[in-house]
Amino acid sequence: MSAVSRKTSKSSAILLAGGGRGAQLYISDHPGSKAVKGTKDWTQVKMRIETGSAKSVNIHCLFGGWGVVTGKAWWDDVSLRKVEYEVIASDEPEVVKGDVKRGKKIFTTHPIANCARCHAVDGVGGVIGPALDTIATPKQEDYILQSLVDPGAIIAEGFQGKVSPMPPMGVLLKPQELADVMAYLMTLK
């Protein structure tokens, strides 16, 4: 991740008029910073971006307006800074074999993931997604896990042509919770 700042000088205020975006920063392939317009003193603007695997980025100091902005702007102390995060050891134990009872509880009552809002088991639950009464009979464990972590990868029969409204459970659930839900789903035969 990187942070970029732009400052304008008190002694050299931004004097911008007209239409357009005004003075702003733009970093390649990322939305621009908040635009500064009007008469302003020193104004610090920061952008935080994730560069992913990019080895370089371009910083553009824009006087944006496609020819409709008038005035002057100064950029001072423009910098790109790499921000590294220290991985903090987790207090959570390593994932152990999934627990069916915990998995059923997560399936029915988890405050965010609550699978039963959309999926029914034994006639109890929602109807947005397919009923899961016998999900483990025709489907392999890897298919079920993929459906949990990447719901849009394979849309269930009868739901073709639709985009899955299910969020990726690998984001909502901790690894142990995911293992527990998998253990519960594998009992549904």
What integer is the mean pLDDT of 76-89? 68
Between β-strands 69-72 and 59-64, what pairing exists: parallel, antiparallel or unpaired? unpaired
Question: Count H helices, E strands: the chain?
Answer: 4, 10
Start-end of H helices in 94-155: 100-109, 141-149
> Does domain 100-185 sit in CATH 1.10.10.10?
no
Parse the chain into domains and list their residue ranges: 2-82, 100-185
In the chain, the amino acid numbered 41 is D
Q: Using the Cα atoms of residue 52, residue 57, residue 59 and residue 64 in order, give the sign of their dihedral.
A: negative
Both structure tokens of 15: 């004097």
Res 43 pLDDT > 60: yes
The pTM for the full model equals 0.51
What integer is the mean pLDDT of 13-31? 63
Give the model's confidence band at 5: pLDDT under 50 very low, under 70 low, under 90 confident, else very high: very low
- Best-predicted range by mean pLDDT among 4-13, 41-50, 138-147, 153-162? 138-147
Residue 68 CA to residue 168 CA, distance in Å, equals: 45
Residue 88 CA to residue 64 CA, distance in Å, equals: 42
Residue 58's Cβ-side half-sphere holds a number of Cα atoms within 13 Å equal to 5
What integer is the mean pLDDT of 123-148? 88
Q: What does the pLDDT look like over 148-166, one tens digit per residue?
A: 888 877 777 776 666 777 8
> Which pLDDT score is estimated for 120?
94
Consecutive H or E run containing 120: strand 120-121
